């Protein structure tokens, strides 16, 4: 069962009133891999992360942790699974309690899960502060004494101290300065490799994603519109929305300046790829003319209209 994904979302759906924030989203984070969930504000990427963590109630679909359906568990039953499934948020200022020392913050999950004695918990917390690149003496300091990058290191230590195997990281580097962003990306990458972590990395920053992710999942208005290995997304994006996202990224070369043409939402919809059945590696699921996520060669999925059906 080694090919069972560490985290899998199947047809996950969330409505707020009439608004469908997350619309039948399928994605899988294979073990020891980083899957990036990208999209713009309002795309549903953060909501998807909260649903996966069971921090927000979903309206349909399933969440599987190591192949086990956790989507119907009560919050009390979820507690045991939270040791394996953890989170780092964007804003380390509001996600760290200003009244607690960093040692207490990092050790708190151990206490909640009743792991070890108080003295052992203190030592473990110190060890984790060092593992994320902070001096053990920081255990006695408070969040306001730290820079944004240092606070994000504390958030990472707290998330991983219980030995989590799956980490949901929601824009963990977005609030950071350029010069410390690379530090946190490297920290996550190092821990991911050392601990065999599987990570759902939610971000609007395609540059960070390119350096960190194995696979990229692109969301638009609650739907996954494209999903492919990172190199393929950057070299051979098929969906017009993915293409427009990539095209909008500033180029770090003044000599390469160019005028861009911008597509409206309607133009993007109108350019939904038409794909002939011969391009597909698997039969489409639905027998309809609506756009659907179809599988192309190279583990590449794109929302497309299937122009002609293969003979059965």
Residues at the contact surface with other proteins, assessed by CB under 8 A = 34, 40-41, 147, 149-150, 177-183, 185-186, 189-190, 204-214, 230-231, 234-235, 244-245, 247-255, 257, 259-260, 262
Q: 261 vs 311, which CB is nearer to other proteins? A: 261
- Residue nearer to other proteins on the CB measure, 59 or 267: 267
Minimum gap (Å) between residue 266 Cβ and other proteins: 13
- Shortest Cβ 77–other proteins spacing (Å): 35
- The gap from C-alpha 169 to its chain's centroid, in whole angstroms, comes to 6
Nearer to other proteins, 199 or 275 (CB): 199
- 139/119 Cα distance (integer angstroms): 13
Note whether 44 and 22 are within 8 A (CB): yes
* 225 contacts 219 by C-beta, under 8 angstroms: yes
Q: How far is the CB of 212 from other proteins (least distance, A)?
A: 7
**Residue 78 Cβ, how far from other proteins at the closest point, in Å?**
31
- Closest distance between other proteins and the C-beta of residue 235, in Å? 7
Per the CB < 8 A criterion, the answer to whether 126 and 112 are in contact is no
Least separation, in Å, of the C-beta of 262 and other proteins? 6
**Choice between 76 and 260, CB closer to other proteins:** 260
Q: Which is nearer to other proteins, 89 or 201 (CB)?
A: 201
- Of residues 23 and 150, the one with the C-beta less far from other proteins: 150
Please, are residues 128 and 164 in contact by the beta-carbon 8 Å criterion? Answer: no
Tokens of 225: 């519109």
Shortest Å, Cβ 42 to other proteins: 9
Judge whether 264 and 271 are in contact, CB under 8 Å: no
Q: Which is nearer to other proteins, 70 or 187 (CB)?
A: 187
């Amino acid at each position: 069962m080694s090919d069972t994904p560490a985290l899998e979302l199947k047809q996950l759906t969330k409505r707020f009133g009439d608004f469908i924030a997350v619309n039948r989203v399928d994605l899988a984070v294979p073990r020891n891999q980083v899957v990036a969930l990208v999209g713009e504000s309002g795309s549903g990427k953060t909501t998807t992360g909260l649903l996966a963590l069971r921090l927000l109630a979903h309206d349909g679909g399933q969440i599987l942790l190591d192949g086990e359906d956790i989507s119907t568990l009560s919050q009390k039953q979820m507690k045991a699974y939270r040791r394996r499934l953890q989170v780092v948020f964007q804003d380390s200022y509001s996600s760290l309690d200003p009244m607690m020392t960093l040692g207490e913050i990092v050790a708190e999950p151990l206490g909640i899960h009743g792991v070890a004695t108080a003295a052992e918990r203190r030592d473990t917390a110190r060890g984790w502060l060092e593992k994320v690149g902070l001096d053990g003496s920081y255990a006695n300091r408070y969040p306001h004494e730290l820079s944004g990058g240092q606070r994000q290191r504390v958030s990472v230590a707290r998330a991983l101290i219980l030995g989590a195997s799956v980490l949901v990281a929601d824009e963990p580097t977005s609030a950071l300065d350029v010069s410390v962003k690379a530090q946190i990306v490297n920290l996550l990458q190092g821990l991911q490799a050392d601990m065999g972590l599987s990570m759902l990395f939610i971000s609007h920053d395609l540059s960070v994603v390119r350096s960190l992710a194995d696979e990229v999942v692109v969301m638009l208005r609650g739907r996954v519109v494209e999903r492919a290995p990172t190199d393929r997304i950057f070299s051979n994006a098929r969906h017009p929305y993915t293409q427009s996202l990539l095209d909008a990224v500033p180029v770090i070369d003044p000599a390469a300046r160019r005028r861009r043409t911008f597509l409206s939402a309607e133009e993007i919809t109108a350019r939904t790829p038409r794909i002939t059945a011969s391009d597909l590696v698997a039969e489409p699921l639905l027998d309809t003319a609506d756009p659907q996520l179809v599988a192309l060669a190279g583990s590449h999925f794109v929302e497309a209209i299937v122009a002609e059906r293969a003979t059965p």
